[in-house]
Chains A and B, each alone.
Chain A
Amino acid sequence: MKKYNLDLLKEQCGEDKNFFNEMIDIFIRSTNEGIASMEEMLAKNDLKMLGHYAHKIVSPCRHIEAETLIPLLKEMETDAESGELTKERAELLVKQIKEEASSLMEEIKTEYTS
Chain B
Amino acid sequence: MSTTKDYNFTISVVEDNEWYNKLLVHTLSLNPDFVVKSYFNAADFLKEIDTTVPDMVTLDVRLPDMSGVDLLAKIKEHNPAIQVIIISEQDEIQTAVDLLKSGAYDYIVKQKDIKTSLHHSINKIRDNKHLVEKIAVLEKEVIKKYDLHKTITGNSVALQNVLKLVEKTLENNITVVITGETGTGKEVVAKAIHYNSLRQNKNFIAVNVAAIPSELLESELFGHEKGSFTGANNRRIGKFEEANGGTLFLDEIGELDLSLQAKILRVLQEKEVVRVGSNTPIKFDTRIIVATHRNLKEEVKKGNFREDLFYRLMGFPIELPPLRSRGQDVIVLAKHFIGLFSEENKVPLKVLSEEAKTKLLSYHYPGNIRELKSIIDFAMVIGNGQQIEKEDISFISEDLTPDNIYQELTMRQYELKILTSFLKKYDNDVKTVADKLEIGQATVYRMIKELQGITPDNPA
Contact = CB atoms under 8 A, between A and B. Distances in A.
Interface stretch (B19-27, B336-344, B397-405): B19-27
Nearest to B60: A59
B112 A30 contact: no
B19 A60 contact: yes
A89 interface: no
B89 A27 contact: no
Contacts, number: 44
Nearest to A9: B23
Task: Please classify the interface of chain A as helix (H, G, I), strand (E, B), loop, or mixed, using the class held by over half of its residues.
Answer: helix
A102 to B, nearest CB: 18
A27 B112 CA distance: 16
Contact of B20 (A19, A22, A59): A59
B110 interface: yes
Contacts of A43: none
Given A55-B89, A56-B17, A62 B111 contact: yes
B271 interface: no
A9 to B, nearest CB: 8
Interface string B46-76: 0000000000000000100000000000000
Contacts of B111: 62
A60 B17 contact: yes
Given A23-B23, A58-B89, A12 B115 contact: yes
A36 interface: no
A8 interface: yes
A9 B23 CA distance: 9
B457 interface: no
Interface string A2-18: 00000011001110100
A69 to B, nearest CB: 14
Interface size class on chain A is 20 to 34
A27 to B, nearest CB: 6
Contacts of B17: 30, 56, 59-60
Q: Which residue, B17, B22, B62, B112, has most C-beta atoms of chain A within 10 A?
A: B17
Nearest to B110: A59
A87 interface: no
Contact of A8 (B18, B22, B112): B112
Contacts of B23: 9, 12, 23, 63
Contacts of B27: 12
Interface string A47-60: 00000100110111
B89 A63 contact: no
A92 interface: no
A62 B110 CA distance: 8
Interface of B: 16-20, 22-23, 26-27, 30, 62, 89, 110-112, 115
Given A9-B23, A30-B17, 13 more contacts: A12-B115, A16-B26, A22-B22, A23-B22, A26-B19, A30-B19, A58-B89, A59-B19, A59-B110, A60-B20, A62-B111, A62-B112, A65-B112
